[in-house]
Structure 1
């Protein structure tokens, strides 16, 4: 085996839940740019990606449709934690924040740290150079607001 072959590493497999979150972010991104309906966007995502069948469809539908339904409320919850005008947030970061905010608020059975980590990884994949840092900062503040006991419990365990 050559040195080049040894250096080539296989990318880790994405979980079905990560794929669901990625498709939800892509759907919200598409909605921001096109204004298409959720049904049109879902059909496009299904038809344009061979990896869609490997996503957790139930989770995808729950967070995509839920975030779309609650977009105004989610923005209201996110805006106080932004360090810039909401209009200056990139569409990728905005979509990532909306998906994660929906999960933080509506899916208490999913640990907040998992939601934030997934959002950071998605922002690294699709966003700008330091977009993941911005997403992390905003979601940390939102998590402290909507899940204070859970956040404090995790912080106390780390001490």
Structure 2
């Protein structure tokens, strides 16, 4: 499920991005795919990371961000899943693996990266789901993240809705 793109887009229909934004977007795309692989295949993270770095052109990727997400999500998996599981309309085990990877990645960012605005986290999650998820997966991801953001970023969300 690896992607080899260097045009700053996360897939069909995505808006082109430049510089740091594009590099972060590419890091998210690859990290989501790597987290999916980790969840489905159960491979060790170091092997997955090495494979992704060999199979993909990282010249336009924020490699440090990719590494942080890929290793941070599994390290905090229990807390991350616990944050969004109560907001699901189905048991965690029934969530599509692609959407699960997106929710974990986005929850990690909401919890650990206050430098990334919550609206950006939600939008990036939706865009990933539009490209890689099931037909209405983006609606599911949007609904969960929209409920999660006020729980994890209460002050920021309150300030943004004035």
Normalised by the size of structure 2, how large is the TM-score?
0.85
Instruction: Identify which of 44, 48, 72 aligns with 2:55.
Output: 48
Higher helix share: 1
Deviation at residue 11 of structure 1 after TM alignment: 7.2
Give unpaired runs (5+ residues) of structure 2.
1-12
Separation in structure 1 between the aligned mates of residue 132 and residue 27 of structure 2, nearest angstrom: 14
The equivalent residue for 1:95 is 101
- The Cα RMSD (Å) is 1.5
CA deviations on 1:66-109 (whole Å, 9 max, x unpaired) are: 11211111011110111111111100000000000000001111
Structure 1 residues 11 and 146, CA, compared in 2 at 3 Å: closer, same or farther? closer
Separation in structure 2 between the aligned mates of residue 18 and residue 99 of structure 1, nearest angstrom: 12
Aligned positions, number? 146
Deviation at residue 13 of structure 1 after TM alignment: 3.6
Instruction: Identify which of 139, 142, 147 aligns with 2:153.
Output: 147
The equivalent residue for 2:70 is 64
Instruction: Identify which of 132, 143, 149 aligns with 2:138.
Output: 132
- Larger radius of gyration between Structure 1 and Structure 2: 1
CA deviations on 1:39-81 (whole Å, 9 max, x unpaired) are: 011011112223x331101111111111121111101111011
Separation in structure 2 between the aligned mates of residue 66 and residue 30 of structure 1, nearest angstrom: 15
Separation in structure 1 between the aligned mates of residue 159 and residue 120 of structure 2, nearest angstrom: 15
